Amino acid sequence: MERIRNLDPTKMKDWEVAQACEADMKTITQIAEELGIEPKEIFPYGHYTGKIDYMKVLERLKNVPNGKYIEVTAITPTPLGEGKSTTTMGLVQGLGYLGEKVTGAIRQPSGGPTFNIKGSAAGGGLAQCIPLTDFSLGLTGDIDAITNAHNLAMVALTSRIQHEFNYSDSFLAKKNLTRLDIDPNNIAIGWAIDFSAQALRDIIIGIGGKMDGFMMKSGFQITVSSEIMAILAVAADLADMRNRIDKMIVAYSKKKKPITAGDLEVAGAMTAIMAKAINPNLVQTLEGQPVLVHAGPFANIAIGQSSIIADKVGLKLADYHVTESGFGADIGFEKFWNLKCRYSGLIPDCSVIVATVRALKMHGGGPTVTPGKKLDPVYTSSHPELVEKGLDNLMAHIETVKKSGVPPVVCINHFYTDSDEEVAVIRKAVEATGTRVAVSKHWEFGGAGAVELAEAVRDACREEKVFKFLYDNETPIRERIERIATEIYGADGVSYSPEAEEKMQRLESNPESMEMGTCMVKTQLSLSHDPTIKGRPKGWTLPISDILEYRGAGFLVPVAGDIKLMPGTASNPAFRNIDVDVETGKVTGLF
């Protein structure tokens, strides 16, 4: 702790701060012991990371009451993000600073942003989790397991197509196979890779001879958008995961019948690959509080939540458990509220909405914020008039959280370049709505800088709440989408492309579809479907271009506008700055 107090993040890069603090890290066995995890309940992966045997912990503590449940979301961010992970770590450290027993739950970073523009998701400044290199570069292998399980389904599918195309029914029968009559023009998934690789979005596979596979169009999605990741986020246990993977749709027959992983007899092998990944990972903050890491990011194209299992474990082990959702409240909180809470049965005590002066200036008409380019000086000098113009965006997110009955706390994630006048504009507007607001300087001062936020959160957790979902399980699919579009995004209505309309009619005729949740795919950079429209857009219609069916995860996935499941790598990616000190073996340049 003494070492961290002497660090100045305004003069250091995040990875330099992390490495300085890693010299005083607690061992994983020490973290586990302090948290109340027994030796047989932790699987160490080296000295400083490990996995928790969730089944043993939950069974042992089944009669222990849950701690307070705190969710972290945000306003609509700039392309650079607005510090949800940093705030999550800062709040955990702040509650720890006040003497509370606290755990955090964050999502494992994807290699896509880590090697691209956004960087890792460990937090920043004096509010991070460590060890940074392990956390950022694979941790204990969960994302690799998801990649392999997903691609094994594609191996099973493409092999089956080749054999069905090349061989007769009698030959297939000798191999104990039934013809599935798979339509190669109606494949539900692609291949997975955990990088931003736009060149792999659309490809041709099977080029060659008869033994080289069936030639057809295919493509890649980023691993964290895989249905397997969604299943990891919502699965109750290993048996539930096995059942969900069995139902995962990988293709359709020529009669439009779903072909599942179970039909391909590959679900068992896929679950075997995922058997260790279902256990949450354990690391620590810079100040030594425990952090669970499980499931992945990208709430714009996936569920984007820390896992239900991680939250259940954290709530049993601590008096306060802080969990992170992806992007703004229109995306991350909405999915936390209407999907994750519905599946888990857990009700949050408080939701923290992260806001920054920088993002509000952008929503107030400030210059374009472009990844990889230096910020315009307007974002590092005082312009309270721009902040005031951008407040409509913050108000929309406050209203979204309040619709759920969960008490919100607005966290002004303070940058050292923010002026007192700019902060005062935000505080006055938020307090006028009857909402708690706190300035937090965790990035600059760690837990000590997050005391105001931690106290506001503790206060909010004592407030009585009447939790309610946006829609009931019986609400028709179209009405669910309409409610999300109009009541959360602020649209006037919804339109459907011909392809989406056709799928909608088919889903509406299937009673099983009514039992599935609604997991929207939409840009994170606007309340609308158009990333260029900032603030709080008015007078627009949400266009649904497609509807995906994640039967294993239990989601219908309406796709709004033109959004890809495979991001692209920018012209100045982060991997240009990452290297290894060959004398010490330490990785440098991560952020």
Give the tens place of pLDDT for each residue, 134-158. 999 999 999 999 999 999 999 999 9
pLDDT higher than threshold 90 for residue 320: yes
487-490, long-range: CB < 8 A, 24+ apart: 487/403, 488/330, 488/334, 488/400, 488/403, 489/330, 489/522, 489/527, 489/528, 489/542, 490/396, 490/527, 490/528, 490/536, 490/537, 490/538
Task: Say which residue the tokens 């991070």 belong to.
Answer: 128
* pLDDT tens, position by position, 578-591: 999 999 999 998 87
Q: Does the annotation mark 299 as catalytic?
A: yes
User: Is CATH 3.30.1510.10 the right assignment for the domain spanning 142-267?
Assistant: yes
Q: Out of 118, 389, 436, 480, pick the active-site residue.
A: 118
Q: What is the pLDDT of residues 423-463, one digit of tens each?
A: 999 999 999 999 999 999 999 999 999 999 999 999 999 99
Q: What is the pLDDT of residue 1?
A: 58
Residue 443 falls in the annotated catalytic set: yes
* Residue 27 annotated in active site: no
For domain 477-560, give the fold: Formyltetrahydrofolate synthetase; domain 3 (3.10.410)
**Whole-angstrom distance, CA of residue 146 vs CA of residue 462:** 39
**Is 465 marked active-site?**
no
Question: What percent of the chain has a predicted confidence (pLDDT) above 90?
Answer: 84
Averaged pLDDT, 543-558: 94
403 included as an active-site residue = no
Whether domain 2-140+277-457 has CATH 3.40.190.10: no
Catalytic annotation present for 214 = no
Model confidence at 2, in pLDDT bands (50, 70, 90)? low
Residue 551 among the catalytic residues: no
| pLDDT 10s digits, 520-538 | 999 999 999 999 999 999 9
Which listed residue (51, 68, 107, 436) is catalytic? 107
Per-residue model confidence as pLDDT tens digits over 261-284: 999 999 999 999 999 999 999 999
Band (50; pLDDT cuts 50, 70, 90): very high
Is position 540 annotated as part of the catalytic site? no
Pick the catalytic residue from 76, 78, 86, 88. 86
Neighbouring residues of 260: CB distance < 8 A, sequence distance ≥ 6: 246, 247, 248, 249, 250, 267, 551, 552
User: Pick the catalytic residue: 299, 302, 318, 438?
Assistant: 299
* pLDDT tens profile 196-234: 999 999 999 999 988 899 999 999 999 999 999 999 999
Domain parsing of the chain, residue ranges: 2-140+277-457, 142-267, 477-560
| From 214, 443, 555, 591, the catalytic residue | 443
